[in-house]
Amino acid sequence: MSANAKFSRELQVLSTLPIRDAWDVAGMPIQFSFERLAGPLLPLSAEPFVGVNARPEEWSRAFAFGEMSVDGGGSPFYCLSEDSPGIYTFDIESSATLEPLNTTPEAFVQSYSIARAAAFGTIDIASAARALRDTDPKTYDVENDWNLLIKQLEAGSEDA
């Protein structure tokens, strides 16, 4: 069974995300790409990581559906895993392990929308932080992309 068939429900929810999006977070450009949702999902083990020969077994059960590029630098992947439900980040340049981001695809889409609204100033930072916590309380206290974005926005507003 293909990854797209295994994750059909999750992909239906995630398909509401934009194909590409760009934000400015306190002067730091961030680009998102969800182009992978349009094609067959491939396991992380198939990614052409330069200089990486050993590929842990978990990489063959994790499938990237999107990525984020911060200030033109590294691009952490957003992944689904056959091992457990939820959304994970994977950054080859840091831990090279799957790190929890959201407990469900619905929470990921909602968290993305909240963080985007905060980045564009549609909602204030404190309200965004509360909304992120309420959206996915199990992952809120974990240091993840959403919390780091809020911290960056807070730091940017203090500098202004």
Question: Does residue 139 or residue 54 have the better pLDDT?
Answer: 139
Quick one: pLDDT at residue 96?
Answer: 67
Write down the mean pLDDT value for the chain: 88
Query: Residue 118: CB partners within 8 Å, gap ≥ 6?
Result: 124, 125, 127, 128, 149, 150, 153
Instruction: Note the pLDDT tens digit of each residue in 33-83.
Output: 999 999 999 988 887 765 666 667 788 889 999 999 888 677 789 999 998
Quick one: pLDDT at residue 53?
Answer: 62
Nearest alpha-carbon partner for 7 in 91, 104, 98, 90:
104
Instruction: Note the pLDDT tens digit of each residue in 103-112.
Output: 999 999 999 9
Each domain of the chain, given as residue ranges in start order, spans 3-159
Question: Percentage of residues in the chain with pLDDT exceeding 70?
Answer: 91
Quick one: pLDDT at residue 49?
Answer: 67
Quick one: pLDDT at residue 44?
Answer: 85
Quick one: pLDDT at residue 6?
Answer: 92
Q: What is the pTM of this model?
A: 0.90
Quick one: pLDDT at residue 1?
Answer: 81
**∠ Cα 24 136 34 (to 5°):** 45
Instruction: Note the pLDDT tens digit of each residue in 15-41.
Output: 999 999 999 888 889 999 999 999 999
Quick one: pLDDT at residue 148?
Answer: 86
